[in-house]
Amino acid sequence: MKTTIRQATEADIEGILKIVNHYAAENLMLPRTAEQVRRVLAHFLVAEQAGAVVGCGSLVQLTPQLTELRSLAVAADQRGTGLGRRLVEALVERARAAGYDQLCALTLQEGFFNSLGFATVDRLAVSPKIWTECIYCPKFDHCDEIAVLMNLTEGETVTAERGSDVSLGLWQQLKVSRMINR
Ligand SMILES: CC(C)(COP(=O)(O)OP(=O)(O)OC[C@H]1O[C@@H](n2cnc3c(N)ncnc32)[C@H](O)[C@@H]1OP(=O)(O)O)[C@@H](O)C(=O)NCCC(=O)NCCS
């Protein structure tokens, strides 16, 4: 069956919530309300199959250089069919077209992101996220999510392993801004 990846519209909100909140109930994602999705709908992509939403994902700006991939999910009966990959690839394209240098995600699906070219990095170094929204999360002091990062700029490759010290141009900027925020 043909699946289209496209910009989300108001009519997709219910479908997005159904998928995201299904995984939130399993503690795999944070729950969302219709109002929360509506507010950032312009930054959402959906995967549509025969008129139904079967996947979604969004971008959230953290700094003018760094954007976060958020609310990525594929309907349970469609997992493992390449839809997650297609959504991430479309969001990478969108982030690049918008002029961002880096794309990050906080995830429990490290292997999935690694297979798509994201490097695993020190969670605490993704500073704007940790020091703004994460501090309000109930799981803040026992967060089990892994940070992954992709450089979008030509010629830059992230080679960082979790917890290691990295001296890469763009990545270094994140570490510096974390120290300032402390
Ligand atoms: C994570 C998720 C979006 C992946 O989407 P998907 O459609 O199931 O994954 P795909 O079929 O596109 O897989 C793409 C590749 O990643 C690999 N992959 C998928 N999940 C993986 C995992 N957990 N570990 C390692 N590799 C994984 C696949 O084998 C595939 O590799 P290939 O292209 O070499 O065959 C989906 O499983 C999901 O919705 N999970 C629940 C919600 C969630 O955890 N979202 C992430 C929030 S950040």
Best mutation site among 74, 88, 112 for ligand 1 pocket (most ligand atoms within 8 Å of CB):
112
Distance CA 124, CA 154 (A): 25
Domains of the chain: residue spans and CATH: 3-181 (3.40.630.30)
CA dist 119 and 113 (Å) reads 8
Pairwise CA distance, residues 171 & 118, whole Å = 13
Q: pLDDT 10s per residue in the chain (182 long)?
A: 899 999 999 999 999 999 999 999 998 998 999 999 999 999 999 999 999 999 999 999 999 999 999 999 999 999 999 999 999 999 999 999 999 999 999 999 999 999 999 999 988 777 666 667 777 777 777 778 899 999 998 765 554 444 443 333 444 444 433 333 33
Of 107, 98, 100, 111, the C-alpha closest to 151 is 100
Residue nearest to atom 7 of ligand 1 (CA): 84
